[in-house]
Amino acid sequence: MRGAIEFKDVSKAYDGTLALSHFSHAFAPARVHALMGRNGSGKSTAIKILAGAVQPSSGTMSVNGREVSFATPSEAFAAGIVTVHQELSLVPSLSVGENIFLGRLPRRGRFVDWAELHKRAAALLTEMELEIEPRRLVETLSLGQQQMVEIVKAMSFAPSVLILDEPTSALAAREVGHLFELVRRLKARGVTVIYITHRMNELFELADTCTVVRDGHYVGTIEISDASPAKIVEMMFGDVAKASRPARRAVNRAAPVLSVRHLSRAPAFTDISFELYPGEVLGMAGLLGAGRTEVLRAIFGADPLDSGEISFAGQRVDKPTPKRMKALGLGYTPENRKEVGLVQMAAIHDNLILASLDRVARAGFTNRARETPSVTRQIRELGIKVADPLLPVSTLSGGNQQKVVIGNWLNTAPKVMFFDEPSRGVDLQAKQQIFEIMWAEAAAGLSSIFVSSELEELLDVADRILVLHHGRLVAEVTPQTTNLTELYQLCMEGHP
Ligand SMILES: Nc1ncnc2c1ncn2[C@@H]1O[C@H](COP(=O)(O)OP(=O)(O)OP(=O)(O)O)[C@@H](O)[C@H]1O
Ligand SMILES: [Mg+2]
């Protein structure tokens, strides 16, 4: 049977952690199988083993009824198994086209046939309705666009088994729609798909079955036609209480803590003006490329502005720099934790104290003992699953890395926080914990700007929502008087 995959008693032990424990399951061919479980439950480990990226400690696998073991990713490739991993693997300094055809560039004689390369890349991109020029360097793309390029690349291998590890975590609604169409087409052609996500609604749109792992153990599999969100949550967690939002407080609009006027930076955004008030959670909605991240980066001083004025905590800031803004009390958790949020090789401990070193140190000196209370506090409050805080942050599961990024900034006791997609890759329970922390901090006076591609989340969490469309601020809405369809329409079209 083409595309049938079976795990038999597969385990994977790392120092101090049993990431996967006696996992057995058969994935039937030509279906879409969701793989779910909380952060750190072993999902990525299971698919890394199947993809040849990691070696199992014990157990076997079979593909199409034949036993296999992949020593390297290329062996898995040769067997038709193509994987889009959770942490993206594009080469930033190469073009989109080169990345798609890396290692198999079309040639004419001894030379790379660039015209052919760009033609083929353009055809693949167009099939996904992506308006990305194949000659563009990957480093100039947003995280979501990079995610799409990685998916296009995977498709170009014509896989018989396609594994997607949280492919939509940085995508907005429209791109998710394109991806889903594509996955359905592949399924119709007989491709087996294993799909990891933390977005519950995606299961019911796309998946045929749902397999749940918990603490490295296989919990069970159900047909989506027999499943309900409540049932799946129960399989994953036992039970999760939905975070109860404290009653919405009237925000005091006497004096804004942050005020921006006519901010422009071509071509990303134009004439952006808004206020952020003490204790307010201000949502920011928009499609991929609408300019949300770019606006935050410019206010934080990470990118220069063409024009505009910023006032922060009562002070006019002429030329913001990250250092100056941080000193004034602004914290920023970026959407791309791999690039800018974390030092992958450094210890979890060090990553949690990175931003607040100057607060913790006395006369310029610090040591682990002095830092430990701040580190322990964030591990406890954010429920970060760590075996040992002195291990490199790269040993954490994706969702737990995300929590480290947030904990690092909360340790700076900021006045204002910019949360750029804070729940990216974070499981349902951890998400609720992050929202509870945002609300609790807001009640204590922290103001925040919250960017999310999940509109339901914005409506749940924010006091007020700004909508960006093609780099312009096109609307401001209140969650109490706006529904999901209206907000979606604003993001898509830029008007009601
Ligand atoms: N290289 C490593 N060294 C040590 N421990 C590791 C390593 N890689 C993963 N682990 C541990 O294995 C466990 C399972 O991790 P895995 O990445 O499979 O989780 P996941 O289910 O994909 O989670 P998420 O939803 O957060 O991505 C975690 O406890 C993680 O810390
Ligand atoms: Mg993972």
CA of 344 to the centre of ligand 2 (A): 15
The closest residue, in CA terms, to atom 17 on ligand 1 is: 397
Q: Using one digit for the tens of pLDDT, what is the confidence trace for 158-167?
A: 899 999 999 8
Altogether, the residues listed in the chain come to a count of 496
Domain coordinates of the chain in residue numbers? 5-237, 258-493
The pLDDT of 188-198, averaged and rounded, is 93
Cβ 399 under 6 angstroms from ligand 1: yes
pTM of the model: 0.80
pLDDT value, residue 241: 63
| 468 vs 476: CA distance, rounded Å | 9
- Is pLDDT of 174 > 90? no
Cβ 429 under 6 angstroms from ligand 1: no
How far is CA 399 from each of CA 63, 108, 237, 493, rounded to the nearest angstrom? 29, 45, 15, 32
Among 27-31, 115-119, 363-367, which stretch is predicted with the lowest mean pLDDT?
363-367
Cβ 197 under 6 angstroms from ligand 1: no
The closest residue, in CA terms, to atom 5 on ligand 1 is: 395
Q: Using one digit for the tens of pLDDT, what is the confidence trace for 16-43?
A: 789 999 999 999 999 999 999 988 899 9
Confirm whether 5-237 and 258-493 share one CATH topology: yes
| 121 vs 233: CA distance, rounded Å | 40
The pLDDT of 427-452, averaged and rounded, is 89
Which of 344, 397, 428 has most ligand 1 atoms within 8 Å of CB, for mutation? 397
Q: Which ligand is nearest to the CA of 42?
A: 1
| 276 vs 296: CA distance, rounded Å | 13
* pLDDT tier for residue 344 given thresholds of 50, 70 and 90: confident
What class, spelled out in words, does domain 258-493 have in CATH? alpha beta
Domain 5-237, classified CATH 3.40.50.300, yes or no? yes
The closest residue, in CA terms, to atom 28 on ligand 1 is: 40
| Burial readout 66-85 (b: 16 or more C-beta within 10 A, e: otherwise) | eebebeebeebbebbbbbbb
CA of 203 to the centre of ligand 1 (A): 22
Cβ 41 under 6 angstroms from ligand 1: yes
